Structure formats: structure tokens, C-alpha cells
């Protein structure tokens, strides 16, 4: 459940132009294999945001099947450095990147994003950082990659509302893991919103998206 009424979401989604067959294939694969890719409105919104920002160099934590990676690359024209720790996901991502012939624009790294990879360092700084890995680790990712943020960085953190479970953990029944996860996401959200060096807003659509910029003295 998300804050926007689902009828509104459906209405807005239906007005979006149809994605081409390649993206539909990835969406179907994600659905069948329960891969949590961006939803259609979230995808369209992030593409808009990256275009407004004129993003050139994006760092992504959590490639999955490269649905967001390829979407950004093809619709924004940016380069993307992306990290994935699950070998099956990584292989699927590689296949999809090759199918679109984007090997030159995407640096796909197989590894744990909690460990700094030299390719991430060598391709820095990043004008957009998309944090979409393990939801309990968002703060660790933020702090680990902070030295590689461009001065005018835009940080996007996905799934910060986690299907309504962060705002209202009482909807979680019989799962201590999910309860703990919702607490951790809440801790991240509170830390991010109170961070004196950044300004953030959490948007209650998709699965909750946090948009963060560096605070500048006015």
C-alpha cells in the first residue's frame, strides 16, 4: 500500500506511453521471478528527474536485472556504474546490457556494494547516486560512497516506505525480520531527514522515494 490512492496510481500509470517490448520483457521477468524493480511511475519520475538534472555519471547500488540501469542510460544518455552481489542477477543484467549494446555506457560490477571497488573510485565523482540495494544498509551505502559524490550530487534512495510497513509497522504480522527491517528503514529516514549537510524530501509514491541534495548556504 502506498499513500497515493491506488486508483490514482493506476490512472496515472495507464496514461504513460507503453514501454517497448524489451522493457516489457524485463518487467515480466521481474514479476515472474519476484525481482523488485522500479514501478512504472517511479521509473518515469526518475527519468524526468535525471533529465532535469542533466545527469552524466550515475552510481547505482543494486542492479538486479539492469531495468533501472538501462532505463536511465537509454532515456537520459548518462553513463551508469552499477553494483550487484547476486550472481544470477548479475548474469541476467549482463545479458540485458549486451542485448541493448550498452557495454560502453554501463560498468556492471559483480560484488558486495559494502566493499569499495576500484572501478567505483576510478569513475567518480557521481552527479546522481541511486541507492537501491539491501534496504537495511542504505545508511552504510550513503556513508561509504559519500566521498565520491559530486559537489552538486543528487542522491535517490528507493523503497524508503517499504509497502506501508515503515509508517505503520502494526500491519506486519508474525515476522520479526520485517519488523526489524521497517525499524531500520525508519532509522535511515530519520537520519537522512535530520542530516545537517543535506536537504531531503520523501515522496510517498512508488515504494517511497527519498530525494536528497547537498545543503548550500544561501
Residues that bind ligand SAH (CB under 6 A): 36-38, 62, 64, 67-68, 83-86, 89, 112-114, 132-134, 137
With CA atoms as reference, report the closest residue to 16 among 75, 84, 80. 75
Q: Which of residues 153-172 bind Mg ion (CB under 5 A)?
A: 158-159
Choose the one of ligand SAH, Mg ion, none that binds residue 68, judging by a C-beta under 5 to 8 angstroms depending on kind: ligand SAH
| H or E element, residue 30 | helix 21-32
Taking the least distance from each CB to ligand SAH, the nearer of 4 and 114 is 114
Helices 87-99 and 21-32 pack at an angle, to 10 degrees, of 170
Nearest residue to ligand SAH by CB is 62
Q: Which does 147 bind (CB under 5 to 8 A by kind): Mg ion, ligand SAH, none?
A: none
- Minimum CB separation of residue 171 from Mg ion in Å reads 19
Residues 6+ positions from 155 with CB-CB distance below 8 Å = 128, 129, 131, 142, 149, 198, 210, 211, 212, 213
Q: Rank residues 60 and 132 by Cβ distance to Mg ion and give the closer one.
A: 132
Please report how close the Cβ of residue 135 comes to ligand SAH at its closest, in angstroms. Answer: 8
| Measured distance CA(130)–CA(76) in Å, rounded | 14
CB of 204 to Mg ion, least distance (A): 15
Phi-psi region for residue 194, left (φ > 0), alpha (ψ -120 to 50) or beta?
alpha
Pick the closer one to Mg ion by CB: 96 or 159: 159
Residues 119-138, mask of contacts with Mg ion (x by CB under 5 A): -------------x------
> Which residues partner with 198 through β-bridges?
214
Measured CA angle at 33 (ends 15, 36), to 5 deg: 55
Is 69:63 a contact under the CB 8 Å cutoff? yes
Question: In this structure, what are the phi and psi dihedrals at residue 110, rounded to the nearest 5 degrees?
Answer: -95, 115
Q: At closest approach, how far in Å is the CB of 36 from Mg ion? A: 5
Nearer to ligand SAH, 90 or 149 (CB): 90
Q: Which does 86 bind (CB under 5 to 8 A by kind): ligand SAH, Mg ion, none?
A: ligand SAH
Residues that bind Mg ion (CB under 5 A): 132, 158-159
Amino acid at each position: 500500500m502506498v499513500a497515493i490512492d491506488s486508483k490514482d496510481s493506476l490512472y496515472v500509470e495507464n496514461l504513460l506511453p507503453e514501454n517497448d517490448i524489451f522493457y516489457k520483457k524485463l518487467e515480466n521477468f521481474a514479476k515472474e521471478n519476484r525481482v523488485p524493480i522500479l514501478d512504472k511511475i517511479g521509473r518515469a519520475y526518475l527519468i524526468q528527474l535525471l533529465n532535469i538534472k542533466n545527469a552524466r555519471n550515475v552510481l547505482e547500488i543494486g542492479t538486479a536485472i539492469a531495468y533501472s540501469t538501462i532505463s536511465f542510460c537509454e532515456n537520459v544518455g548518462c553513463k551508469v556504474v552499477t553494483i550487484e552481489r547476486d550472481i544470477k542477477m548479475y548474469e541476467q543484467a549482463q545479458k540485458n546490457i549486451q542485448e541493448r549494446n550498452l557495454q560502453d555506457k554501463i560498468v556492471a560490477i559483480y560484488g558486495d556494494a559494502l566493499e569499495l571497488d576500484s572501478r567505483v573510485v576510478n569513475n567518480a565523482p557521481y552527479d546522481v547516486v541511486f541507492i537501491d540495494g539491501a534496504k537495511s544498509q542504505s545508511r552504510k551505502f550513503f556513508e561509504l560512497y559519500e566521498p565520491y559524490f559530486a559537489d552538486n550530487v543528487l542522491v535517490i534512495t528507493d523503497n524508503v516506505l517499504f509497502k506501508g510497513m515503515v509508517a505503520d509497522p502494526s500491519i506486519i504480522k508474525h515476522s520479526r525480520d520485517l519488523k526489524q527491517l521497517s525499524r531500520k528503514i525508519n532509522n535511515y529516514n530519520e537520519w537522512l531527514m535530520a542530516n545537517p549537510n543535506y536537504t531531503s524530501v520523501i515522496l510517498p509514491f512508488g515504494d517511497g522515494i527519498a530525494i536528497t541534495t547537498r545543503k548550500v548556504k544561501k
